[in-house]
Amino acid sequence: MLRYVFVLVLAVGVLGDYQVTEEQRQQVRAAIGEVCKKANAEDKASEVQAAVHTFADCLKGLFNIDQIKTEIEEAKPNGALDEVFKKYCAKSSQLKACINTAITGVTPCVPSDLRAHLPTASNATDQIIDFVCYKDGDRIALFIAEDGPKCFQEKAEDIKTCAEKIKEGITSVDEAKALSTENKCKKLDELSSCVVSKLETCENSTPANMAESLFKFVKKASPCNTK
């Protein structure tokens, strides 16, 4: 289900005013048109494209990636990363509004059998933002300070292998949909264990601890939560 949502919503980098070619923009527009066509909502393609544009403008109004990178690099030597993330986490409610509006905007081109899951997707993104911005962003500040991004980059191929492993035996989207909740939860646990074990080989434990906490957070907010 998220495939349909994020193929459309995360097209902002192509439909927005970023450094991409006109050919790439046309490719994404064509992809949106195709998705809408499959959902029998070809006439809604322009509305969905407009929603993606609005989402891009909303994000650009909240965050300047180059500025954030500069602020992070300047804050690291002074141990002031918490102040940087506190400032941006103060915008979390606005970010949630941007995302939820975007999800609503792309709904016409989401297959009808998946639309019932959109509120869950919206709630999940809200909870992930809450996780990242817990205590004004202390978690993400610690993650950056402890070279978390570097660890994830170094283990990118290992993490990819973990993701591919849980897809073994599943050859189609229909087969994935047919999995019981119990089997889906088992695969989530397998993915969690695999990713955490790979990150534990990094120089420090913070990235692995962060990943483990995030998986637990996601599981608690899902049907897999048995407590």
DSSP conformational letter for 78: G
* 151-177 CB burial, b ≥16 within 10 A, e <16: bbebbeeebeebeeebeeeeeeeeeee
| Contact by Cβ (8 Å): 178, 214 | no
pLDDT of 9:
47
As separate numbers, helices (DSSP H) first and strands (DSSP E) second, the chain gives 14, 0
Q: How confident is the model at residue 209 (pLDDT cuts 50, 70, 90)?
A: very high
Q: How confident is the model at residue 117 (pLDDT cuts 50, 70, 90)?
A: confident
Neighbours of 5 (CB within 10 A): 22
* 81-104 CB burial, b ≥16 within 10 A, e <16: bbebbbebbeebeebbebbbebbe
The model's pTM is 0.74
Is 80 exceeded by the pLDDT of residue 182?
A: yes
Per-domain residue ranges of the chain:
1-118, 146-227
Is 50 exceeded by the pLDDT of residue 4?
A: no
For residue range 80-108, what is the model confidence (pLDDT) as tens digits?
999 999 999 999 999 999 888 988 888 89
